Structure 1
Amino acid sequence: MTDQLAPAPLTSRRPRPGEPWWKQSVIYQIYPRSFSDSNGDGIGDLQGIRDRLDYLQTLGVDVLWLCPVYPSPNRDGGYDISDYRGVAPEFGTLDDWKALVADLHARDMRLIMDLVVNHTSDEHPWFQQARASKDSPYRDYYLWRPAREGREPSNWGSHFGGPAWTLDEPSGEYYLHLFSTHQPDLNWDNPRVRAEIHDMMRWWLDLGIDGFRMDTINMLSKPPAFPDAAARAGERFPVASEHFIHGPRLFEYLAEMKAQVLDHYDVMTVGETPDVTPEHGLAFTNAETGPLSMIFAFELMHLDAGHAQTQRKWTKVPWSLAELRQITTRWQAGLHGVGWNSNFLSNHDVPRLVSRFGDDGEFRLASATLLATYLFALQGTPYIYQGDELGLTNVAFSDIGEYRDIDTLNYYREQVNDLGRPPAEVLAEIHAKGRDNARTPMPWTAEPNGGFTSGTPWIALNPTYGQINAQQALADPDSIYWYYRDLIRLRHTYPVFVDGRYDLLLPDHQTVFAFTRTTDDEQLLVLLNFGREVCELDWPGPPPLPTIQLLLANLPGAQPPQSTLTLRPYEARLYHTRTRAGDGLE
């Protein structure tokens, strides 16, 4: 790492006139249940987040994204909401939430909230009234269908296993749930549902939030006929993505939401959008016509799962730099100048990025900082998931009883109890891909329970907390935390990080991912050695003129510009040059 950087400012660089603030922002995702517990009940809470704002502000992030804090039975980690206009008691009160917003805005930071409107909890009053009577005005808030030949209305499967239809015995009809049986899907064809959602969104925006992360937003529209999905041999309930991803009225719904709500506030929106292409990305994020600021595209999340759809999320295969490079280049080129990218490799639903795409052993520090460099050097808004800045790794609990995630528990039960697979074999898959990898509590110190709680944590900490924790990272000037801080400061300082055009270099190199970012005033050369061996290469960028400087490197002793370079395992370097004088940089 270089020592050229002055201390990072404690507030973000202000947007240039006419430039959306979210393009320059760095977003930090918080899973509240696992972030910081202030009252000793073992569950992270809003006051715990407030207590850690100095840590986040020192890191330099601009925006916090809170996973759901709404009242919920917590069948699916809070994504089964029973009240859209409140705060779950385990997290605090609405007044606590308002205090958090005030604290953030006083620090020149912003807050976005999860918008989960494909489905509700089955304990939401709407669904309770809907299932009470076929004549209820809330019946049509959800999707009900009669049996087909005594069975489910179609062969659609749930993302969490089993059928996507559950029989409501009193009424004799089935309701649709693309996820858990406790998460019935809303009927977006009903204008009253859309009006309720719009009113709820305005309510939160008027309370001061700065935007929404929109859960499964491209699944809202379903074809009324619910045709059967294509099934593979032996597959009884296939996930019917071809029918509900980008359904027939999706963009109509989103355009209405934008006109009715979003256009009236200075907000950012990011949509969770599985199975999208750059062409879809342009439709969603076109600065002139798109309904959203940006989307999460998941192609990179399938790198290590191959292309088989069946249980794809649980498989693990070797991934290639060639495919990572191709996917990255396709999205960078496809959205440049028209739409906008979200740059991420981790979140609450996937394994830890250093265990998945780096090396969580010998090269943990180097690979964690290389992956951070990759994310920050691309055009788009970078996302940090809590603990990435510490280099947190996957956890390998030895007993299924230690896991809490509904998807993980369903998978284990199906594979072990129903199909008879060896438990150790299934646990190995869970160790690699389970969602609880990302949900173990944040380790703040080496004290018992990592300083996360004075009580019993709702899920056990990763046993590495004695060595990997925030206190240790803050005390080490060469830690991953301080490297993230350097990256954030660079992004706030040099416009090329936000505006620069992406151009690929060395398209066929076996281990080095090299590219440039270029504006009229600046050029950034990015060199990333994804290999575990030392690599030599010829200087791939513009001539090494005196104006080119080594801006940042993740390993000490990095070389200045020269004709031949030697890159160590997982070494990352950023070289910078001004392409013309007077660019206004300090």
Structure 2
Amino acid sequence: MNRRWWKEGIAYQIYVRSFKDSDGDGIGDIKGIVEKLDYLKDLGVDIIYLNPINKSPNDDNGYDISDFEDIMDEFGTLEDFDYMLKEIQKRDMKFVMDLVINHTSDEHPWFVEGRKSAENKYRDYYIWNKGKDGQVPNNWGSFFGGSAWEYDEEVGEYYLHLFSKKQPDLNWKNENLRKDIKDMIQFWIDKGVNGFRMDAINHLGKDANFPDGEVGEGQVYGDFIKYVQNLPEVHDYLKELKRDVFEDEHVVIGETGGIGYHNAYLYTGVDKKELDFTFHFDMHSVGRGKEAWETTKIDLINDIKKNMSGWQMREDNEGWCPLFYSNHDTTRTVSRLGDDKDYHVESAKMLATLPLTQKGTPFIYYGDEIGMTNDRTFKLEDYRDISAFNRHKDFVQSGLVTEENYLKGLHNTSRDNSRTPMQWDDSKNAGFTTGKAWIKANENHKEINVEKQLQDENSILNYYKKIIKLRKENLSLVYGDFKEIGRDHEEIYSYTRELDGEKFLIMVNFFGGEPKIEDKELVTNDCELVLWNYEKRENDFSLLKEGKVELRPYEARVYKVKANG
């Protein structure tokens, strides 16, 4: 058992813009985070992870960086950052920084200088191409829509941007670029940063032959993914970073599209010396229908068990993994995977039970600990994500989709659902700001908020505190062997965690029915129900002795099994 702080810690992701505003300008900031550190410590958080805080013109919510070694104006200053880090350390917590090194902003000095002359050393920091007979170099598309190539009149060439045209991709083949990147990372390490989550990291390598991708029926752009994702040279770059910059004490996390439990070892294998674990996309679209305004019943076996258990059953030498449902690019957990209407509290607690009793590092997305939901009262003008307006032109104004269905689709799928202000209390703006919030607070903040749940012993927030405490007091819930029970059951997810004679039995009903399960592997003669999200029933234990279980809607139970159980 290789014990590490980043394996045993509870991580908490903060979308800074929406967490807490300290100065009344309507935008969350670094000082606001400091104000709430005691709240996070009381919750049980050990690791704080922030979305990008570097200086940026904000074309893509901070993922377009114009100065790697400074702080976004809206969030504060370097002095504020140093103060925050000091306060985090004072509370014996760790800090993980978002690192965006696949691309920069087109306002970054490297790009600005490189455009001036072909002889300028920064020209080769980016990927330029003259094109074919005055046309784009190939048919690659951007992840954000349109071509992946943008023509620059001043340079007379095209530059590659896999994301926004204001996010030119860096040329990692350039040794000087790699040195500057390493120096920049060292700048933050010297300040005391404990780890890094590296954005779109498996895109660092691109096929320099720039072949056209195959064009499918109805497609404008070719299938370019295999030419820009998970190429062999990516591993060389990551090994170089690990060798030259990162110490053993740092945690190194990669966001890696196209990587799941079956092949994450390519990056996280102990012998690879590249990444400690990867952020995947397994839960990103679970529950969504074919159309944005539609939902579909979750397939517990193939959507949930296959993926969650898949990560659990990897060999130790394949590496560690994160445990999470949501982030800044998805929608709210309880709205997507639970029932935010009839069983809001029960389903939010059930959903918390799984990642906090499995092997890996749990990442709580801000607000999930109180069961924040999607806002189904938003009108089009309430959204801030530019894609909501771009797609409105493409679909509604063109007559392909009705206004009603389009808005319903935004209620189900818009990323802004996960970016509304943290709901601290029932006051105006949910206690997030004294000014005008950059995005409207969810109207249900009067019922769902931190202040109210702190006073309710049976709240979602206090359930999180209990299960986090249980995890920290029992290493079997961190490092223990995982064994799934009843894999074919379509409603109940059950498993055991066991380490050095300490054993837990976990079972949840993922839906709103009242299913039963009978399995000899459930037979337990001596155990204690240590956590649950309903009142106890007298016959629960007698049934368990027979290997039988009956669960209520969204019920979750955690048993500690005695040595002779």
In which range does the TM-score fall when normalised by the shorter chain?
A: over 0.9
Name the counterpart of 2:379.
399
Partner of 2:517: 537
Is residue 300 of structure 2 the alignment partner of residue 321 of structure 1?
yes
Give the equivalent residue in structure 1 for 2:461: 481
Q: For 1:429, what is the secondary structure of its paired residue?
A: helix
Would you say the 8 A contact 2:328–2:415 is kept in 1? yes
8 Å Cα contact 2:293-2:406 kept in structure 1: no
* CA distance 1:230–1:395, change in 2 (3 Å): farther
- Residue number in structure 2 paired with 1:273: 256
**Which residue does 1:550 correspond to in 2?**
529
Letter in 1 for 2:277: M
Q: In structure 2, the residue corresponding to 1:528 is in which secondary structure? A: strand
SS of the equivalent of 1:180 reads coil
Which secondary structure does the structure 2 equivalent of 1:300 belong to? coil
* Aligned counterpart, 1:129: 113
Equivalence for 2:122: 138
How far residue 580 of structure 1 moved from its aligned partner, in angstroms, is 7.5
Contact 1:27–1:64 (8 Å) recurs in 2: yes
| CA distance, structure 1, for counterparts of residue 237 and residue 317 of structure 2 | 25
Relative to structure 1, the CA distance from residue 444 to residue 540 in structure 2 (aligned partners, 3 Å threshold; closer, same or farther) is farther
Per-residue CA shift, 1:60-95, capped at 9, x if unaligned?
A: 110000111111111111111111001112111111
Residue aligned with 1:85, SS: strand
Distance 2:258 2:395 in 1: 25
Q: Distance in 2 between matches of 1:325 and 1:151?
A: 47
| Distance in 2 (alpha carbons) for counterparts of 1:579 and 1:239 | 55
Contact 2:471 2:477 in 1 (8 A): yes
Matches within 5 A, 1:210-359: 210-238=194-222, 240-262=224-246, 264=247, 266-305=249-288, 316-323=295-302, 324-359=304-339
Distance 2:292 2:307 in 1: 18
Worse-matched range after superposition: 243-252 or 35-44: 243-252
Secondary structure class of the residue paired with 2:143? coil
Offset, 1:26: 0.7
**Amino acid across the alignment from 1:511:** E
Show CA shifts across 1:441-472 (max 9, x none). 11111001111000000111111111111111
Q: How far is the alpha carbon of 1:314 from its aligned partner?
A: 8.8
* Equivalent AA in structure 1 for residue 322 of structure 2: S
1:440 aligns with 2:420: yes
* AA of the residue aligned to 2:453: A
Instruction: Identify if the C-alpha distance between structure 1 residues 30 and 313 changes in structure 2 by more than 3 Å, giving closer, same or farther.
Output: farther
Kindly indicate whether residue 63 of structure 2 is the aligned counterpart of residue 79 of structure 1.
Answer: yes
Matched AA of 1:556: E
Alpha-carbon distance change, 523 to 72 in structure 1, aligned in 2, over 3 angstroms: same
Residue 41 of structure 2 is matched in structure 1 by 57
TM-score of the superposed pair, with normalisation by structure 2: 0.95
Deviation, structure 1 residue 508: 1.1
From 461, 485, 502, give the equivalent of 2:482.
502
Unaligned residue ranges in structure 2 (runs of 5+): none
- Per-residue deviation, 1:212: 0.4
Where do residues 517-528 of structure 1 align in structure 2 (5 Å cutoff)? 517-528=497-508
Q: CA deviation at 1:368?
A: 0.7
| Distance in 2 of aligned mates of 1:369 and 1:456 | 32
Rounded Cα–Cα distance in structure 2 between residues aligned with 1:46 and 1:169: 39
1:178 equivalenced with 2:162 (yes/no) = yes
Over aligned residues, Cα RMSD in angstroms?
2.0
**Comparing 318-327 and 350-359, the one that deviates more:** 318-327
Report Cα offsets for 1:243-280 as digits up to 9, x if no partner. 21102301000000000111x35111211111113343
Taking the TM superposition and a 5 Å limit, the aligned residue runs for 1:25-64 are: 25-64=9-48
Q: How far apart, in 2, do the equivalents of 1:507 and 1:85 lie?
A: 49
Conserved? CA contact 2:497–2:505, under 8 Å: yes
What amino acid maps onto 1:505 in structure 2? Answer: I
Give the match for residue 10 of structure 1: none
Q: 2:445 aligns with which of 450, 456, 465?
A: 465
Per-residue deviation at 1:121?
Answer: 0.8
Contact 1:529 1:571 in 2 (8 A): yes
**Aligned residue-pair number:** 559
Change (3 A) 1:170 1:338: closer
The aligned counterpart of 2:102 is 118
1:66 to 37, 50, 64: 50
Alpha-carbon separation, structure 1, partners of 2:376 and 2:300: 26
Aligned-pair CA distance for 1:147? 2.2
User: Could you give the per-residue CA deviations for residues 377-420 of structure 1, whole angstroms, max 9, x where no partner exists?
Assistant: 21111110000001000123543322112333333333334574
Q: What amino acid does structure 2 have at the position aligned with 1:554? A: N
Residue of structure 1 in register with 2:433 after alignment = 453
Identity fraction in percent: 40
Q: Which moved more, 1:130-139 or 1:217-226?
A: 130-139
Cα separation, partners in 2 of 1:315 and 1:175, compared to 1, 3 Å: farther
Query: What SS does the corresponding residue of 1:426 show, helix, strand or coil?
Result: helix
1:424 CA drift (Å): 2.7
- Could you tell me how far apart the structure 1 residues matched to 2:261 and 2:119 are? 44
CA distance, structure 2, for counterparts of residue 452 and residue 365 of structure 1: 23
- In structure 1, the partner of 2:558 is 574
Distance 2:265 2:118 in 1: 41
User: 1: CA distance between counterparts of 2:398 and 2:124?
Assistant: 35
> Which of 366, 375, 383 is the aligned partner of 2:346?
366
Question: What SS is found at the alignment partner of 2:170?
Answer: coil
Sort the Cα spacing of 1:413 and 1:579 in 2 relative to 1 into closer, same or farther, 3 A.
farther
What is the TM-score of this pair, normalised by structure 1? 0.91
Per-residue deviation, 1:231: 2.3
Aligned residues of 2:97 and 2:196 also touching (Cα < 8 A): yes
Question: Does residue 425 of the first structure (1) align with residue 405 of the second (2)?
Answer: yes
Cα distance, 1:152 vs structure 2: 1.7
Check if 1:190 corresponds to 2:174: yes
Q: Which residue of 2 aligns with 1:8?
A: none
1:296 CA displacement? 1.1
CA separation of 1:390/1:90 partners in 2, compared to 1, >3 Å: closer, same or farther?
Answer: same
Alpha-carbon distance in 2 for matches of 1:396, 1:95? 39
**Secondary structure of 1:280's partner?**
coil
